[in-house]
């Protein structure tokens, strides 16, 4: 393969990932018009699970070791079940643009986990980045709906970011023996199995949902929840993580542009300022790549 063709494929894959994960907050807002948060998460990942099963049948994946099953379910809980239910509930009263910014705070919480859970050393630089990022988070939450309407919904989106931080940390510490496709499949399947507690009443919701919402949920299941993960695995197989994650800082502005077009959202000045503070802090955090702590990429919606 020619170098130029290879580079183009990587760039296209990165653009595809940004577009898919940028669409996710808007897709969730549309899905919530007909589904409650639990039903939306389950339906989205039932679709993703079926899609990944087809991919796995063609590509082939190894069977998990029996002793790894508890860990795989824990990964599914943090990456799929808790993350997406908290995200969906949070987005009931948080704009798609603000939600995309708050979701990018994952590396800040990964640093806190590195220090307090895994007992890693965290430099003064990283503590400063975490403090700056948390200030940006407060600005975004306050600026989205105004100080008078602040409630727990923004905190639930932060919980989703914390949940993803746990997933990333556990995956880095324990799952190096599985390749990207295998780990994505088992994580999605186990997380979907845990979401089956929301199965009662789902059929009725599906039968009554408008066609526009149905198509949006299918798109959520196929693109952000399956194809984007496979494209991201392709990117990481060809370039280093620090270079790849730089691209993901395009997700919030992409999400805001999509939300403005599809939902008519206009982010406030405070949200814009808070977004810049959060993204600058996360960017500065990832610049210190040589430090021996866990550094997670931005959250994958």
Residue ranges per structural domain of the chain:
3-103+151-265
Distance CA 96, CA 99 (A): 5
The whole-chain average pLDDT of the chain stands at 84
Average pLDDT of the residues in 208-235: 91
* 129 pLDDT more than 50: yes
Whether 283 shows a pLDDT value over 50: the answer reads yes
- Give the chain as a 3 state SS string: CCHHHHHHHHHHHHHHHHHHHHHHHHHHHHHCCCCCHHHHHHHHHHHHHHHHHHHHHHHCCCCCCHHHHHHHHHHHHHHHHHHHHHHHHHCCCCCHHHHHHHHCCHHHHHHHHHHHCCCCCCCHHHHHHHHHHHHHHHHHHHHHHCHHHCCHHHHHHHHHHHHHHHHHHHHHHHCCCCCHHHHHHHHHHHHHHHHHHHCCCHHHHHHHCCHHHHHHHHHHHHHHHHHHHHHHHHHHHHCCHHHHHHHHHHHHHHHHHHHHHHHCCCCCHHHHHHHHHHHHHHHHHHHCCCCCCCCCCCCCC
Model pLDDT, residue 293:
42
End-to-end CA distance of the chain, in Å? Answer: 32
CA trace torsion 92, 300, 12, 187 (10° rounding): -120
Residue 300: pLDDT band (50, 70, 90) is low
Nearest by Cα to 96 from 257, 276, 229: 257
Instruction: Give the pLDDT of residue 301.
Output: 54
Mean pLDDT of 101-130: 76
pLDDT of 252: 86
Mean pLDDT of 209-235: 91
Q: Enter the pTM of the model.
A: 0.85
Q: What mean pLDDT is predicted for residues 10-23?
A: 91
Confidence of residue 28 (pLDDT cuts 50, 70, 90): very high
Nearest alpha carbon to residue 82 among 165, 181, 174: 165
Q: Using CA atoms, how far apart are residues 133 and 27, in angstroms rounded to an integer?
A: 26
pLDDT at 289 over 70: no
pLDDT value of position 200:
97
Report the percentage of the chain scoring pLDDT > 90. Answer: 39
pLDDT for 6 beyond 90: no
User: What is residue 290's predicted lDDT score, i.e. its pLDDT?
Assistant: 43
| Closest of 221, 207, 259 to residue 101, by C-alpha | 259
Nearest to 81 by CA among 188, 165, 184: 188
Amino acid 146: pLDDT: 60
- Asked if the model's pLDDT at residue 205 lies above 50, the reply is yes
Report the pLDDT value the prediction gives residue 103, as an integer from 0 to 100.
Answer: 81
Q: What is the mean pLDDT of residues 117-129?
A: 76
pLDDT above 70 covers a percentage of the chain that reads 86
What confidence score (pLDDT) does residue 117 get? 67
């Amino acid at each position: 393969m020619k170098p130029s063709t290879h580079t183009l494929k990587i760039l296209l894959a990165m653009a595809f990932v940004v577009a898919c994960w940028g669409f996710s907050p808007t897709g969730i807002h549309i899905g919530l018009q007909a589904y409650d948060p639990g039903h939306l998460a389950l339906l989205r990942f039932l679709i993703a699970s079926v899609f990944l099963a087809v991919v796995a049948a063609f590509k082939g994946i190894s069977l998990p070791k029996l002793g790894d099953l508890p860990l795989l379910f824990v990964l599914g809980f943090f990456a799929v079940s808790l993350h997406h239910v908290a995200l969906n509930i949070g987005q009931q009263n948080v704009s798609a643009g603000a939600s995309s910014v708050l979701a990018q705070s994952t590396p800040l919480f990964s640093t806190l986990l590195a220090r307090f859970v895994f007992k890693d050393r965290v430099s003064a630089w990283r503590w400063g980045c975490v403090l700056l990022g948390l200030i940006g988070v407060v600005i975004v939450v306050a600026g989205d709906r105004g100080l008078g309407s602040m409630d727990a919904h923004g905190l639930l989106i932060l919980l989703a970011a914390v949940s993803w931080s746990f997933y990333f940390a556990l995956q880095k510490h324990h799952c190096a023996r599985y390749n990207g496709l295998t780990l994505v499949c088992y994580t999605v399947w186990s997380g979907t199995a845990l979401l089956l507690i929301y199965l009662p009443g789902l059929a009725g919701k599906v039968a009554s949902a408008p066609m526009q919402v149905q198509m949006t949920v299918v798109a959520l299941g196929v693109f952000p929840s399956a194809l984007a993960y496979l494209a991201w695995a392709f990117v990481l197989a060809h370039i280093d993580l620090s270079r790849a994650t730089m691209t993901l800082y395009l997700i919030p502005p992409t999400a805001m542009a999509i939300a403005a077009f599809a939902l008519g959202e206009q982010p406030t000045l405070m949200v814009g300022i808070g977004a810049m503070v959060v993204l600058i802090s996360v960017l500065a955090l990832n610049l210190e790549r040589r430090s021996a702590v866990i550094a997670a990429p931005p959250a994958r919606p």
